[in-house]
Amino acid sequence: MKNAGASKKGIILNYLAHQEGYTSAEDLSSTFKISKRTLYYIFKDLNKDLLSKQLEPIQNVRNEGYYLKKCTKEKILETGASIEETTPIKYTKEERCNIDILLSLISNKKVTLEWLSEIENVSRNTVISDIDRARKIIEKSNLSLLNDPNNGYWLSGKEEDIRWWFYEFIGNYSKLLAEITGSEYFQRFIDCETVNRINCVTGKWLEDVERLTGKHFSDDTINTLSNFLPFVIQRILRKKTIDCIKEYELNVLRSYPEYDLVSQLLKLFNINPELNENEVFYIETLLLSSQIKFISLESKYAPQKFTGLDSIVKKVILRFQQISGIDFDNIEELKKNLYVHLLACYYRVRYGVKYQNRLLKEIKKNYGNVFSFTRFSIQPFEAFCKHSISEDEISLISIYFGGEIDKQKRNRLSDNVQKVLIVCSSGIGTSNILKQRLQSLFPFVGFEGPITEREYLKQTEIHENLVVSTVKIPEKSKKVITVHSIPDDQDLKILTKNLVQFDIYRNELVSSILDVVSDYAKINDFNGLTQGLIQLFNKPNLKTGTGGVYQPMLSELLTSSTVRVEKNDGMDWKEAIQKSADPLLQKGKIDQEYIDAMIDVVNQHGPFINIGKETALAHARPENGVNHLGMSLLKLDKPVNLVDKEHPVTLFITLAAVDNTAHLKALSSLATLLGKEEKLEQLLNAKTKEEILSIIEEEENVQ
């Protein structure tokens, strides 16, 4: 049995092969009775299949239409090369359960066991089992999957919960959604004409929103809104509306340009925005909270600087630099990107729009240091929002800081380092995690990007030495290696084999070893031994992901010899910094020049090293007198005024960093420790160094 709609792809490909000149999307949509969105997904699948057969993909000329290159057309017409349609798609149990829920929600006709059995290519008993599991899945969303002989299966629950389930489904199963909605068989169960019209209108409206507001959404956001907005419109038309928005927010929401734009959208479907103002607010908050790629200030309704947010962004970045011990070389781009992100985050927090990051566990596992610093640094933004920020949101914010750290590493690479281009269309979170993962495993390579598949296809020439992509793309004079968004062991083996050739230092070491071996032994396979040694020496540290750099724990740096508890007999903040750093000076880890530099930093920039309640973290740049990595701590019985009375400090911590990585694990633990109010109080109330060391050790055991 074929999956529903499998033949549509072959028919469209054959149709294009017989066309002379261009064929517009409108003509194709009309000819085959499908929406433009469905046509887009069919083209995407066709192009992947054509590329797998070493054929050129379907070409598109803007304002003209689609066509096949002569060589591809001739191959199809000459040999009958077509898309394989005899092998049915095998859905996983999880996918089938979600298909059952989806179709029960959006189908205009009765959903039955027989229909689900046919479209999923499984037995009736399997469908029954899947339905039982699907019911358990949606219980978590406060929904129920009901059925009766007359109406078949349908989804029941509060409208807000139903919409949220579909919103999450788009994010988690966008590829599956495309397959299902692009299915010819499925389209028999929806009103294609109405759906196509709604999709066309909402798509054009989204373009107008970007043009008029100057807020240009990310690719992920466009994909989500393109699927979700037509669904919401259809729900409203079917009288499936939501409850009231909190009353105190209404006047604020009415003042934004998005309010009028959403009202105009509803009018396009003969929906009275005054009678359905709750829906206006609902869609408006969705727009406000959606992730933005950049803001164009030339637009008609271009947003002015959000009052107070700009200064909050500066505080967040400053706190990150303070707690991480990293001084960003150029923070202007980081400030701009973080401002755009936090603007959308503010609205999500303000209006209760949930955000779930599927990569949360991956980020916390592999980038725990940056995550901990971000969680500590985000406190000014939490105060600005008057609401705590979820770990899902924090993980996404941490990607911006991780990317900046990665950028500084790349800027310090030598000029003759080999470059590798990353192509990934999975969104900013996944793309940057992939990049950071690869950069940490292969520090001798300069990874460029990531860019999207669309951006790659537009390029006429690739300047990098190699391309690593999460999607199948054609080669453009440079080899392409396809990996998963989160590389598995097999991916890493393939990458290692291809990237080790770029490690100039270790390859020179291999050459020296071979010279010695050649003097004392006969080498039967010189090339084989060379490649074997190169791969051996360049094997990445897959466990630590730090490129072989050892990162000591906090308890290894703050020890009985570097922690002091003393009385404050009238000392000033300069003397306190000196005393805090003395253990490192005595051990030769720093020079007096470094202590002077830390004091100069405070003289120039004020009490910015005050990172929390009665706590200061003093540091300067490594080149100002750091010999070895080290940390020390001074606990006073009475606070010292750091510059002024507004900044009393009892706990002085000195960091001597040799680079931007070796100290991160220790400071990550410190950030977590200081971020817990009860632990901070214990440190501030400690009377002996033994108490302080015990608190640190206890916290590390918990982490």
What confidence tens digit (pLDDT) does each residue in 359-378 have?
777 777 666 788 888 988 99
Residue with the two structure tokens 């309704």: 301
Paired tokens of 429:
């979170």
- For the stretch 4-19, what's the b/e string if a residue is b when 16 or more beta carbons lie within 10 angstroms of its beta carbon? bbbebbebbbeebbee
Query: Do 363 and 386 fall within a single domain?
Result: yes
Amino acid letter, residue 71: C
Pairwise CA distance, residues 8 & 12, whole Å: 6
HSE of 696, CA atoms in CB hemisphere, 13 A: 22
What is the pLDDT of the chain when averaged over all its residues? 83
Judge whether residue 33 has pLDDT over 70: no
Look at residue 302 and tell me if it is in a domain.
no
Query: Do 102 and 163 fall within a single domain?
Result: yes
**Is residue 316 a contact partner of residue 281, using CB atoms and an 8 Å limit?**
no
**Mean pLDDT for the stretch of residues 643-662:** 88
Closest CA to 547 of 404, 406, 439: 439
Query: Do 627 and 578 fall within a single domain?
Result: yes
Query: Do 568 and 625 fall within a single domain?
Result: yes
**Mean pLDDT for the stretch of residues 480-508:** 74
**Segment (H or E) for 649:** strand 648-656
**Is residue 534 a contact partner of residue 500, using CB atoms and an 8 Å limit?**
yes
Domain that holds residue 518: 505-537
Pairwise CA distance, residues 219 & 292, whole Å: 9
pLDDT band at 544 (very low <50, low <70, confident <90, very high): very low
Paired tokens of 686:
């400690």
Q: Which of 350, 382, 408 is the last residue of a domain?
A: 408
- Give the residue, 31 or 566, on which the prediction is more confident: 566
pLDDT band at 209 (very low <50, low <70, confident <90, very high): very high
What residues contact 104, with CB distance under 8 A and at least 6 apart?
111, 145, 152, 153, 154, 155
Residue with the two structure tokens 């750290």: 405
What residues contact 578, with CB distance under 8 A and at least 6 apart?
595, 599
The verdict on whether 605 is a catalytic residue reads no
**Tally of domains within the chain:** 7
**Mean pLDDT for the stretch of residues 552-568:** 92
Pairwise CA distance, residues 363 & 124, whole Å: 40
pLDDT confidence of residue 280:
95
Rounded alpha-carbon distances, angstroms, from residue 388 to 352, 359, 382, 391:
11, 20, 5, 10
Look at residue 396 and tell me if it is in a domain.
yes
**Segment (H or E) for 148:** strand 144-148
Query: Do 578 and 669 fall within a single domain?
Result: yes
Q: Which of 342, 373, 408 is the last residue of a domain?
A: 408
pLDDT for 564-613, tens place per residue? 999 998 899 999 999 999 999 999 999 999 999 999 989 988 888 888 88
Query: Do 141 and 200 fall within a single domain?
Result: no
89: left (phi over 0), alpha (psi -120 to 50) or beta: beta
**Mean pLDDT for the stretch of residues 533-559:** 65
Taking the CA atoms of 36, 42, 48 and 52 in sequence, report the sign of the dihedral they define: negative
Look at residue 353 and tell me if it is in a domain.
yes
Look at residue 545 and tell me if it is in a domain.
no
At residue 547's C-alpha, the angle toward residues 626 and 464, to 5°, is 110
At residue 382's C-alpha, the angle toward residues 378 and 386, to 5°, is 175
Any idea which of 63-77, 214-228, 409-423 has the lowest mean pLDDT?
409-423
pLDDT confidence of residue 1:
36
Q: Secondary structure of 513-544 in the HEC alphabet?
A: HHHHHHHHCCCCCHHHHHHHHHHHHCCCCCCC
Look at residue 449 and tell me if it is in a domain.
yes
Q: Which of 190, 207, 223 is the last residue of a domain?
A: 190
CATH classification at residue 44: 1.10.10.10
Query: Do 282 and 339 fall within a single domain?
Result: no
pLDDT band at 143 (very low <50, low <70, confident <90, very high): very high
Paired tokens of 461:
């020439």
Bridge partners for 66 per DSSP: 23, 60
Query: Do 326 and 392 fall within a single domain?
Result: yes
- Give the residue, 471 or 147, on which the prediction is more confident: 147
Query: Do 580 and 652 fall within a single domain?
Result: yes
Asked if omega into 88 is within 30° of 0 (cis), the reply is no
Instruction: Give the best-scoring range by mean pLDDT among 230-234, 469-473, 474-478.
Output: 230-234
pLDDT confidence of residue 84:
46
Pairwise CA distance, residues 154 & 145, whole Å: 6
pTM for the structure as a whole: 0.67
pLDDT for 515-538, tens place per residue? 666 666 767 766 566 656 655 655
**Segment (H or E) for 83:** none
- Give the residue, 318 or 488, on which the prediction is more confident: 318
CATH classification at residue 379: 1.10.1790.10
Closest CA to 425 of 174, 225, 220, 207: 220
For the chain, the 3-state helix, strand and coil shares in percent, each to the nearest 5, are 55, 10, 35
Pairwise CA distance, residues 398 & 368, whole Å: 10
Look at residue 330 and tell me if it is in a domain.
yes
Judge whether residue 321 has pLDDT over 50: yes
Catalytically annotated residue among 341, 463, 619, 663: 619
Strands 466-469 and 59-61, by their bridges, are unpaired
Look at residue 548 and tell me if it is in a domain.
no
Query: Do 144 and 224 fall within a single domain?
Result: no
Look at residue 300 and tell me if it is in a domain.
no
CATH classification at residue 429: 3.40.50.2300
Query: Do 395 and 445 fall within a single domain?
Result: no
Pairwise CA distance, residues 233 & 216, whole Å: 22
Paired tokens of 106:
């959006």
Closest CA to 683 of 695, 670, 699: 695
**Is residue 169 a contact partner of residue 227, using CB atoms and an 8 Å limit?**
no
Pairwise CA distance, residues 136 & 121, whole Å: 22
Query: Do 212 and 289 fall within a single domain?
Result: yes
**Mean pLDDT for the stretch of residues 474-492:** 83
Percentage above 90 pLDDT, the chain: 34
